[in-house]
């Protein structure tokens, strides 16, 4: 079967990958910029803390100077505090080193005019601990550190405040940002390359389809899958079920099934072999308990790459039933036409006898002819009590006779008026007799002619049906396969597909605890046994039931309606 080939996208080349790449580059740029800004703020905080600690170190160094400690506790010394503090400020690069007494009076300052002036701020080292922070002083914004100042005796006599200009902090930050900017640029470049490769891979994965086309395909697929009356199942290359619509679930009884292997949801049989491709061909007929299905499997490929397969399942139960009923009606019509000719011939004989005046001979011929048909019906009634089965057998005898085949009801046949499995027996007997008649017409010539032997026996615990014919028989080694759907040694005849009758009989027998066997070699013998009593009577109109056609001379009340 020719595989389905998926066409590539119809839109311009590279559109999808370009859009994906552009979107990813924008995302990378934004995230890189946000990361850069966050790092700058974090680094600014780290540098602030480092410079605050440096300012505190300068303040503590100043507070440890013996000259300043001596002068601040005992007084005197002239400008020694200013001199030492300025020396330390210049050596450390601080913006200011200010020595305060406990009243907040400055004893040193870069601006000599402020010496002796109060700061206006409270002393924060009264707790004896150092403090850091940011100070907006007379020299501008600075990183500030404050250390307690103790005299030679250990007494707290003041506070030393040192500050480092903010431009030093910003300068340090600006020196570090280019390095981080380089790292960010490298990360964005690597991300862009990865985004480009990912976009190309996505382009190949989507078979060149654009985003709008993918969305449209999804909508079309959902509408198609749930809108059509055929079952659709899709498989990936590994045989897993990837798509299954509602109709397929109903026809096959799969349940959910998605993501499962076929052998996990269906038992081994003709249906599973048709779905997984083991059975080759198109329009494969499969018989289930409730449906007659037609299965087609088509492989799917793109650019020579196998993507799996799509299976369609059509329900042909009603159609096959109507075709088989039509075929039965045609056969009955042919039989009626032949009987009309025979009846015409008989009337011509009677008319000829009357014309020549031999009235006694005409009367005897008419009585003999009518009695022969009545005798046939009565002989069947003697052994078979149910009128439906009587009508079916008489009809088959009539049809078979027109094809040169004689049906013989065995002397040991015995069936009551209400036998177990009545409607199943109608299906089984009808299908087995049809197959036997077909086989007998193709068998070798025998002295007794083509013949079919039927035996129906109702016992206490079992109902037994046996049909034997004089046909060519069953080929050796095929006793199992003959009961599969579609198996037949002859081509289709008329409108009905062959290979369903025996499959139907086998399914009916197996479902109700019976057995069916067949002999190999010349002259096939089919034997069916069904347990008695019937614990699950078939309802009127059941799928696998058969009512006989109306034969010429059949008992009253027999109606047609063979569904298979």
For residue 4, the SS3 value is: strand
Q: Is the pLDDT of residue 12 over 70?
A: no
Confidence of residue 528 (pLDDT cuts 50, 70, 90): very high
Q: Is the pLDDT of residue 542 over 50?
A: no
Confidence of residue 147 (pLDDT cuts 50, 70, 90): very high
Distance of alpha carbon 340 from alpha carbon 324, whole angstroms: 24
Q: Which long-range contacts (CB under 8 A, 24 or more apart) does 337-345 make?
A: 338/402, 339/398, 339/402, 339/552
Q: Is the pLDDT of residue 175 over 70?
A: no
The values of phi and psi at residue 445, to 5°, are -65, 135
pLDDT for the residue numbered 335? 63
Q: Is the pLDDT of residue 13 over 80?
A: no
> Using an 8 Å Cβ cutoff, are 396 and 408 in contact?
no
Dihedral, 59, 60, 62, 64 alpha carbons, nearest 10: 160
Q: 41 CB contacts (<8 Å, ≥6 apart)?
A: none
Confidence of residue 563 (pLDDT cuts 50, 70, 90): very low
Q: Which of 236, 237, 271, 269 lies closest to 252 in space, CA to CA?
A: 271
Percent over 70 (pLDDT), the chain: 75
Query: Which stretches of 272-358 are assigned E, i.e. beta strand?
Result: 284-287, 292-302, 305-315
Task: State which of 323-327, 342-346, 497-501, 523-527 shows the largest mean pLDDT.
Answer: 523-527
CA distances from 494 to 121, 283, 285, 325, 491 (A): 116, 18, 17, 11, 10
Q: Which of 511, 514, 538, 545 lies closest to 528 in space, CA to CA?
A: 514
Confidence of residue 331 (pLDDT cuts 50, 70, 90): low
CA distances from 76 to 109, 153, 367, 437 (A): 18, 17, 168, 143
pLDDT digits (tens, 9 = 90+) for 248-304: 888 887 777 777 888 888 877 778 888 888 888 888 877 776 777 888 888 888 777
Residue 272 C-alpha from the chain's centroid = 16
pLDDT for the residue numbered 543? 39
More confident residue, 346 or 73: 73
pLDDT digits (tens, 9 = 90+) for 201-244: 777 776 666 667 777 777 777 777 777 778 888 888 888 888 88
pLDDT digits (tens, 9 = 90+) for 335-390: 677 667 667 777 888 788 888 888 778 777 776 666 556 667 788 888 888 888 88
pLDDT for the residue numbered 176? 65
pLDDT for the residue numbered 193? 78
DSSP3 helix / strand / coil % (the chain, rounded to 5): 45, 20, 35
- What are residue 106's DSSP bridge partners? 100
Q: What angle do CA 327, 333, 338 make, to 5 degrees?
A: 130
pLDDT for the residue numbered 537? 61
Ramachandran region of residue 523, left (φ > 0), alpha (ψ -120 to 50) or beta? left
Q: Is the pLDDT of residue 479 over 50?
A: yes
> Using an 8 Å Cβ cutoff, are 449 and 406 in contact?
yes
pLDDT for the residue numbered 436? 87
More confident residue, 534 or 506: 506
Q: Which long-range contacts (CB under 8 A, 24 or more apart) does 61-69 make?
A: 61/88, 61/92, 62/88, 62/97, 62/99, 62/147, 62/160, 62/162, 63/147, 63/148, 63/149, 63/150, 63/160, 66/152, 68/99, 68/149, 68/160, 69/149, 69/150, 69/151, 69/152, 69/157
DSSP state of 481: G
Measured in residues, the chain has a length of 564
> Using an 8 Å Cβ cutoff, are 392 and 379 in contact?
no
For residue 160, the SS3 value is: strand
For residue 266, the SS3 value is: coil
pLDDT for the residue numbered 556? 32
Q: Which of 101, 79, 216 lies closest to 150 in space, CA to CA?
A: 101
Confidence of residue 26 (pLDDT cuts 50, 70, 90): confident
pLDDT for the residue numbered 481? 64
**For the residues 15-42, what does the mean pLDDT come to?**
73
pLDDT for the residue numbered 183? 72
> Using an 8 Å Cβ cutoff, are 330 and 34 in contact?
no
pLDDT for the residue numbered 465? 92
pLDDT for the residue numbered 559? 30
Q: Is the pLDDT of residue 132 over 60?
A: yes
pLDDT for the residue numbered 544? 41
**pTM for the full predicted model:** 0.48
**For the residues 149-169, what does the mean pLDDT come to?**
84
Q: Is the pLDDT of residue 62 over 50?
A: yes
> Using an 8 Å Cβ cutoff, are 491 and 442 in contact?
no
Mean pLDDT, rounded, of the chain: 76
Q: Is the pLDDT of residue 327 over 70?
A: no
Pairing mode, strands 96-101 and 4-5? unpaired
Q: Is the pLDDT of residue 329 over 80?
A: no
Distance of alpha carbon 319 from alpha carbon 322, whole angstroms: 5
pLDDT for the residue numbered 396? 83
> Using an 8 Å Cβ cutoff, are 72 and 99 in contact?
yes
pLDDT for the residue numbered 557? 30
Q: Is the pLDDT of residue 134 over 80?
A: no
């Amino acid at each position: 079967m020719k595989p389905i080939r998926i066409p590539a996208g119809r839109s311009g080349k590279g559109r999808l990958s370009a859009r994906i790449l552009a979107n990813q580059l924008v995302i990378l740029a934004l995230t890189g910029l946000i990361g850069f800004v966050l790092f700058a703020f974090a680094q600014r905080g780290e540098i602030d803390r480092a410079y605050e600690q440096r300012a505190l170190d300068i303040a503590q160094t100043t507070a440890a100077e013996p000259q300043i400690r001596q002068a601040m506790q005992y007084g005197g010394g002239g400008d020694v505090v200013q001199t030492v503090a300025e020396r330390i400020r210049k050596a450390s690069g601080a913006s200011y080193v200010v020595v305060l007494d406990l009243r907040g009076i400055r004893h040193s300052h870069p601006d000599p005019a402020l010496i002796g002036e109060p700061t206006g701020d409270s002393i924060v080292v009264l707790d004896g601990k150092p403090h850091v922070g940011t100070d907006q002083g007379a020299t501008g914004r600075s990183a500030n550190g404050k250390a307690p100042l103790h005299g030679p005796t250990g007494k707290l006599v003041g506070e030393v405040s040192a500050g480092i200009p903010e431009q030093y902090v910003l300068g340090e930050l600006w020196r570090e940002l280019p390095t981080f900017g380089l790292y960010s640029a490298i990360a964005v470049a690597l991300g862009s390359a990865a985004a480009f490769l990912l976009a190309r891979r996505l382009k190949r994965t989507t078979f060149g389809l654009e985003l709008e086309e993918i969305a449209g395909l999804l909508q079309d697929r959902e509408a198609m899958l749930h809108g059509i009356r055929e079952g659709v199942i899709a498989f990936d290359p590994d045989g897993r079920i990837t798509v299954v619509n509602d109709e397929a679930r109903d026809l096959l009884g799969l349940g959910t099934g998605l993501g499962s292997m076929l052998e996990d949801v269906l038992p081994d049989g003709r249906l599973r072999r048709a779905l997984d491709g083991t059975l080759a061909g198109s329009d494969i007929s499969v018989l289930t308990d409730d449906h007659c299905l037609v299965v087609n499997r088509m492989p799917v490929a793109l650019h020579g790459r196998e993507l799996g397969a799509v299976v369609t399942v059509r329900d042909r139960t009603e159609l096959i039933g109507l075709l088989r009923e039509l075929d039965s009606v045609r056969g009955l019509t042919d039989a009626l036409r032949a009987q009309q000719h025979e009846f015409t011939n008989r009337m011509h004989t009677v008319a000829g006898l009357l014309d020549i005046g031999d009235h006694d001979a005409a009367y005897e011929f008419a009585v003999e002819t009518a009695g022969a048909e009545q005798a046939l019906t009565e002989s069947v009634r003697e052994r078979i009590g149910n009128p439906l089965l009587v009508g079916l057998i008489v009809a088959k005898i009539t049809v078979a006779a027109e094809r040169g085949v004689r049906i013989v009801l065995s002397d040991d046949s015995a069936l009551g008026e209400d036998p177990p499995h009545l409607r199943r027996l109608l299906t089984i007997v009808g299908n087995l007799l049809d197959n036997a008649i077909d086989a007998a017409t193709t068998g070798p010539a025998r002295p007794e002619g083509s013949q079919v032997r039927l035996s129906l026996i109702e016992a206490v615990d079992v109902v037994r049906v046996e049909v034997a014919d004089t046909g060519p028989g069953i080929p050796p080694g095929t006793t199992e396969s003959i009961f599969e759907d579609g198996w037949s040694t002859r081509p289709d005849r008329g409108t009905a597909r062959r290979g369903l009758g025996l499959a139907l009989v086998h399914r009916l027998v197996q479902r109700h605890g019976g057995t069916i066997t067949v002999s190999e070699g010349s002259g096939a013998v089919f034997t069916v046994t069904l347990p008695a009593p019937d614990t699950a009577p078939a309802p009127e109109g059941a799928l696998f039931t058969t009512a006989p056609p109306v034969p010429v001379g059949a008992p009253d009340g027999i109606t047609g309606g063979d569904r298979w």
